[in-house]
Amino acid sequence: MSLERIVIAFAGAMILLSLALGVSASPIFQHQYWLYFTAFVGLNLLQSAFTGFCPLAIILKKVGAKPGGAF
C-alpha cells in the first residue's frame, strides 16, 4: 500500500472512531469532547491539501512506506 493510501485510510479511520466516541447516539459513546479530535483531523487534512505538510506522512516515510499515486 502506498504512503498516500495509508494516510487517507488512517485519517478516515480516526474520523470514524472519534465520531463513534463523540456522538451520544453511538453504542460506544464516551464524551462529546471526542468531536474536537474529529475537527482536528479534518483541519489537518485541509491544511495538508494546501501546504503539502502532513506529519503522518513524515513518520511513515521514516518507517519505510513508499510513496505512490493515490488515485
Query: Residue 23 corresponds to which amino acid?
Result: V
Residue 23 domain flag:
yes
Domains: count for the chain: 1
Q: What is the band of 67 on the pLDDT scale with cuts at 50, 70, 90? A: confident
Q: What is the pLDDT of residue 55?
A: 92
Q: What is the pLDDT of residue 70?
A: 62
Cα(40)–Cα(47) distance, integer angstroms? 11
Residue 68 domain flag:
no
Query: Could you give phi then psi for residue 3, rounded to 5 degrees?
Result: -55, -45
Q: pTM of the entire structure?
A: 0.87
Residue 69 domain flag:
no
pLDDT tens readout for residues 3-47: 999 999 999 999 999 999 999 999 999 999 999 999 999 999 999
Cα(65)–Cα(46) distance, integer angstroms? 22
Residue 71 domain flag:
no
Q: Is 44 helix (H, G, I), strand (E, B) or coil?
A: helix
Q: Is residue 71 scored above 60 in pLDDT?
A: no
Residue 51 domain flag:
yes
* Segments forming the whole domain that contains residue 23: 3-62
Residue 67 domain flag:
no
